[in-house]
Amino acid sequence: MAPVSPLAPAAFPALPVIGGVRFAAVAAGVRYKGRTDVMLAELAPGTVVAGVFTRSATRAAPVLDCQAKNGGAADGGAAILVNSGNSNAFTGRGGMDAVAQIAAAVAGTLGIDAGRVFTSSTGVIGEPLPWDRITAKVAELRDNLAPDAMAGAARAIMTTDTFAKGATVTVQVGGQMGGQAGGQMGGQKGGQSVRIAGIAKGSGMIAPDMATMLVYLFTDARIGHADLQALVSSINARTFNCITVDSDTSTSDTLLIAATGASGVDVTGSAAFAAGLEQVMLDLALQVVRDGEGATKFVEVQVTGAASDADAHRVGMAIANSPLVKTAIAGQDANWGRIVMAVGKSGAQADRDRLGIRFGDIWVARDGWRAPEYSEAEASAYMKRQELVIGVEMGIGAGRATVWTCDLTHGYIDINADYRS
Amino acid sequence: MAPVSPLAPAAFPALPVIGGVRFAAVAAGVRYKGRTDVMLAELAPGTVVAGVFTRSATRAAPVLDCQAKNGGAADGGAAILVNSGNSNAFTGRGGMDAVAQIAAAVAGTLGIDAGRVFTSSTGVIGEPLPWDRITAKVAELRDNLAPDAMAGAARAIMTTDTFAKGATVTVQVGGQMGGQAGGQMGGQKGGQSVRIAGIAKGSGMIAPDMATMLVYLFTDARIGHADLQALVSSINARTFNCITVDSDTSTSDTLLIAATGASGVDVTGSAAFAAGLEQVMLDLALQVVRDGEGATKFVEVQVTGAASDADAHRVGMAIANSPLVKTAIAGQDANWGRIVMAVGKSGAQADRDRLGIRFGDIWVARDGWRAPEYSEAEASAYMKRQELVIGVEMGIGAGRATVWTCDLTHGYIDINADYRS
């Protein structure tokens, strides 16, 4: 068991009860011993579920199943079941059978349609999922369902995570946004209040270029499927799609959001709701980076002045994924030459002689050359911080993007040279 | 000073004299102390020089200069000067001035046109090149020029390399190819004989997706510039473009080939010459992988059955660049699930249910599922070897590619967390 990441938040947030959702977790022994490894979320009738999924060509059976079910009728109740320890990926026809068995057991036990049971699996790839260990526990999960048990669900889905990840916000629709992600409800200044809370897992195989890791979001807001799907897809592009730990995209990346409507507040077209949802999604995305395998530094890469936003994102990701940049950060070395290298290989339009680079507010290079005021001592002192900003000014346009990553350390090698065995 | 890579060849090959080329090396103190760091190759009048270069958008001044000079008239003599310790990359206008100063000094000393002096620089990025330390040594270099000094030149261009890299072959044009890369001349069975020899440097920042690291090839064959350029570009795509150490593309990648014509043998259109050149280039490319920073395993990735050769290359590179695959190899873990992941993220067309994976001749997965005969013990035993083959059968077409890489170890972190300081 790895020690908790030095970049972890001080505490798991107090998550509110979301009307229309109940949670349970159980130890089914899928792979791990002595810990919970299956979570169930029961969703009240009328709950709208939307999602974003990996575009990996080798995506796992439960991902394919979720995609097929996304957008289905929301009349009856619904459920989300997630296991850790085994990803049910690259498991052939047997993989889909395992998903069907689990969905049928949950549907039968909760009295809902199997087409409304969404499942995810996370853990080792290529091993048959012992689904019978999970179905044997579904009745126990039902008996333990409770509205205030979301934190236990967050713990049950962990794999190499060193801390559970949760975030929440309360939104005043028609009023102002209150509260903070990871904090309690804020003051209610007019309007009607809606709650959003979510949990996530992930710390390695993180480069969700198209989707995300496992993320589950719950809200008591009322919103239609098309609006909810459009909102979550759009925000995903600015949050989970902008993080990377190791450039490796999972076969299981899944984000599901469930809107129960229990608050009675319609949030269709609400900018406040969109902002609140983005706050929770960004908070969870950054927690995934903060639990990057072996991470000792949290790094924000800010790219400005690119030919387009897409080019800026390309540059940011090239920097954030470069092993040479990430090892330099681990070594607290202000090695900006490696940032120049990453800009050059990114494929984005670049003019070497307009390029500027800064660490925090310290400009180390400007106009394609070492900044006149550059001080190695000052830059080196900055690199000793735990939270770093790398700024790149491309000097050719208005495109901008921000991405987040962590450093590459001996800890990453330790974890991944023997994770499976 | 890192110990010599465990994957290094047993010995540096005996390189032949190439008629029309003389070499010298000197300790100029560009950055390193107590070792040679500048090499000069003098090329006889009429020598044809061609090259392949990085497409990095932030490429170094000497690369831009070589590109401008490539294809110029070959009437007079020519020269190649290379320094290690400083890459003269991202050095603004001063970078081009430094190249011009060095070229002028070489041209003046050798009595040739400065437009025929090709230079390369390798080492730290972003520091001004102390060109005066180099120009001060040009007369000494000229005085030391010798036909049999190529090995010394190979040593002078090393940076984090743990061994010098050389390869050679002798080709019978109009006859059969003799000798082996890295070996001596073979028997001469008819035809006329032509020699090819080359040196290279590189061990980190190796992902020459468009060109290569520093590579210098010399031959006494006679061939025109257009033919030589076409040949070297084509072979480059199958050799240096198929290796990766860490996915990071250098700002200085340069391959230059000089054909002196001293043998009097015209090799235009000769398949034997093309095969010999490919043998030397592949040998040098694999030596670069064998000196991959921190490497303990040499890995060949063979991709077959892809929709196209380009897709096969994409899959091979996704596997070879995956930190999770590379750390699993370091840990001697037969973690084929990570290979499935890399196939999935590669962007290549793939059908999960037709995919097969093998380690050497051991099939671990077939038709999208663990192979029935799979034995964890057998696969684990295979992974303890120093030289590994990973085979991926995509099962959808005739596209194929082979790429080469090494593992990702604590040694890589050690080297790169403090290379600059």
Contacts of A355 in chain B (CB under 8 A): 58, 90
Percent above pLDDT 90 for chain B? 60
Report pLDDT for B258.
86
Distance (Å) of CA A387 to CA A285, B227, B276: 16, 54, 53
3-state secondary structure of A257: strand
- Cβ atoms within 10 Å, residue A274: 16
Tell me which of B131-145, B192-206, B359-373 is least confident.
Answer: B192-206
A81-103 pLDDT, tens digit each: 999 999 998 888 899 999 999 99
Domain B21-290 in CATH 3.60.70.12? The answer is yes
Reading phi first (left if > 0) and then psi (alpha if -120 to 50, else beta), residue A174 is in left
- The C-alpha atoms of residue A101 and residue A95 are separated, in whole angstroms, by 10
Concatenated DSSP letters of A234-251: HHHHHTGGGB-SSSPPPS
Q: For residue A139, is pLDDT > 60? A: yes
Q: Hey, are the CB atoms on B248 and A409 less than 8 Å from each other?
A: no
Rounded to the nearest integer, the mean pLDDT of chain A is 88
Q: Hunting for tokens 């052939």 — which residue is that?
A: A92
pLDDT band at A186 (very low <50, low <70, confident <90, very high): very low
Which distant-in-sequence residues (6+ apart) come within 8 Å of A230 by Cβ? none
Report pLDDT for B175.
52
Report pLDDT for A419.
53
Work out the average pLDDT over A18-40: 95
Query: Is the CB of residue A404 less than 8 Å away from at least one CB of chain B?
Result: no
3-state secondary structure of B397: coil
Question: pTM of the full predicted structure?
Answer: 0.83
Indicate the helix (H) or strand (E) that contains A172.
strand A165-173
pLDDT band at A175 (very low <50, low <70, confident <90, very high): low
- The C-alpha atoms of residue B26 and residue B33 are separated, in whole angstroms, by 12
B291-343 pLDDT, tens digit each: 888 899 999 999 999 999 999 999 999 999 999 899 999 999 998 988 998 99
Residue pair A49/A78 in contact (Cβ under 8 Å)? The answer is yes
From the list A201, A191, A235, the residue with the least C-alpha distance to A51 is A235
A vs B: CB pairs below 8 A: 209
Contacts of B58 in chain A (CB under 8 A): 340-341, 343-344, 350, 352, 355
Query: Is the CB of residue B376 less than 8 Å away from at least one CB of chain A?
Result: no
Token output for A214: 């496992």
From the list A320, A316, A312, the residue with the least C-alpha distance to A295 is A320
Token output for A421: 């065995």
Q: For residue A210, is pLDDT > 60? A: no
Report pLDDT for B289.
87
- The C-alpha atoms of residue A26 and residue A28 are separated, in whole angstroms, by 6
From the list B76, B79, B64, the residue with the least C-alpha distance to B218 is B79
Work out the average pLDDT over A164-193: 65
User: Does A368 or B325 have the greater pLDDT score?
Assistant: B325
- The C-alpha atoms of residue A48 and residue A400 are separated, in whole angstroms, by 34
Q: Would you mind telling me the total number of residues written for chain B in this entry? A: 421
Work out the average pLDDT over B46-51: 91
The one-letter amino acid at B283: D
- The C-alpha atoms of residue B171 and residue B186 are separated, in whole angstroms, by 9
- The C-alpha atoms of residue B168 and residue B195 are separated, in whole angstroms, by 8
Query: Is the CB of residue B245 less than 8 Å away from at least one CB of chain A?
Result: no
Residue pair A213/A200 in contact (Cβ under 8 Å)? The answer is yes
Work out the average pLDDT over A129-139: 98
Tell me which of A55-59, A325-329, B94-98 is least confident.
Answer: A55-59
Tell me which of A88-97, A241-250, B60-69, B120-129 is least confident.
Answer: A241-250
Select from A251, A344, A365 the Cβ nearest to the Cβ of B59.
A344
Work out the average pLDDT over B59-72: 90
ipTM over 0.90: no
Beta strand B214-219 pairing with B254-259: parallel
**B135 annotated active-site:** no
> Given A212, A249, A260, A409, which residue is catalytic?
A212
Which distant-in-sequence residues (6+ apart) come within 8 Å of B309 by Cβ? B399, B400, B401
From the list B326, B195, B181, the residue with the least C-alpha distance to B239 is B181
A111-126 pLDDT, tens digit each: 999 999 999 999 888 8
B16-30 pLDDT, tens digit each: 999 999 999 999 999
Q: For residue A61, is pLDDT > 90? A: yes
pLDDT band at B211 (very low <50, low <70, confident <90, very high): very low
Report pLDDT for A180.
45
Report pLDDT for A399.
95
- The C-alpha atoms of residue B364 and residue B269 are separated, in whole angstroms, by 44
**For B160-204, what is the HEC assignment?**
CCCCCEEEEEEEEECCCCECCCCCCCCCCCCCEEEEEEEEEECCC
Contacts of B421 in chain A (CB under 8 A): 331, 333
Q: Name the DSSP letter for residue A95.
A: H
Q: For residue A188, is pLDDT > 50? A: no
- For A366, which residue in chain B has the nearest alpha carbon? B92
- The C-alpha atoms of residue B219 and residue A229 are separated, in whole angstroms, by 63
Token output for B375: 């034995």
Select from A59, A248, A321 the Cβ nearest to the Cβ of B324.
A248
Residue pair A392/A302 in contact (Cβ under 8 Å)? The answer is yes
Work out the average pLDDT over A228-241: 88
Rounded to the nearest integer, the mean pLDDT of chain B is 88
Q: Which of A287-296, A365-374, B49-58, B304-313 has the highest mean pLDDT?
A: B304-313
Q: Hunting for tokens 């940076």 — which residue is that?
A: B159
- The C-alpha atoms of residue A93 and residue B35 are separated, in whole angstroms, by 61
B149-177 pLDDT, tens digit each: 999 999 999 988 889 999 999 999 885 44
Rg (CA), chain B: 22
Enumerate the β-bridge partners of residue B50: B257
Which of A246, A335, A366, A367 best probes binding to B when mutated, by most B CB atoms within 10 angstroms? A335
Report pLDDT for A245.
79
Contacts of B210 in chain A (CB under 8 A): none
Tell me which of A258-272, A292-306, B176-190, B210-224 is least confident.
Answer: B176-190
Tell me which of A82-91, A149-158, A171-180, B59-68 is least confident.
Answer: A171-180
Q: Thinking of the domain A298-416, which architecture would CATH place it in?
A: Roll (3.10)
Query: Is the CB of residue A376 less than 8 Å away from at least one CB of chain B?
Result: no
Phi and psi dihedrals of B140, rounded to 5? -65, -40
Percent above pLDDT 90 for chain A? 60
Q: Would you mind telling me the total number of residues written for chain A in this entry? A: 421
End-to-end CA distance of chain B: 13
Reading phi first (left if > 0) and then psi (alpha if -120 to 50, else beta), residue A182 is in left
Q: Could you tell me what percentage of chain A is helix, strand and coil, using 3-state DSSP and rounding each to the nearest 5?
A: 30, 25, 45
User: Does B379 or B58 have the greater pLDDT score?
Assistant: B379
Beta strand A387-393 pairing with A298-306: parallel
- The C-alpha atoms of residue B137 and residue B122 are separated, in whole angstroms, by 18
- Cβ atoms within 10 Å, residue A2: 14
Report pLDDT for A187.
41
> What is the residue extent of each domain of chain A?
21-290, 298-416
Q: Which of A330-339, B120-129, B182-191, B391-400 has the highest mean pLDDT?
A: B391-400
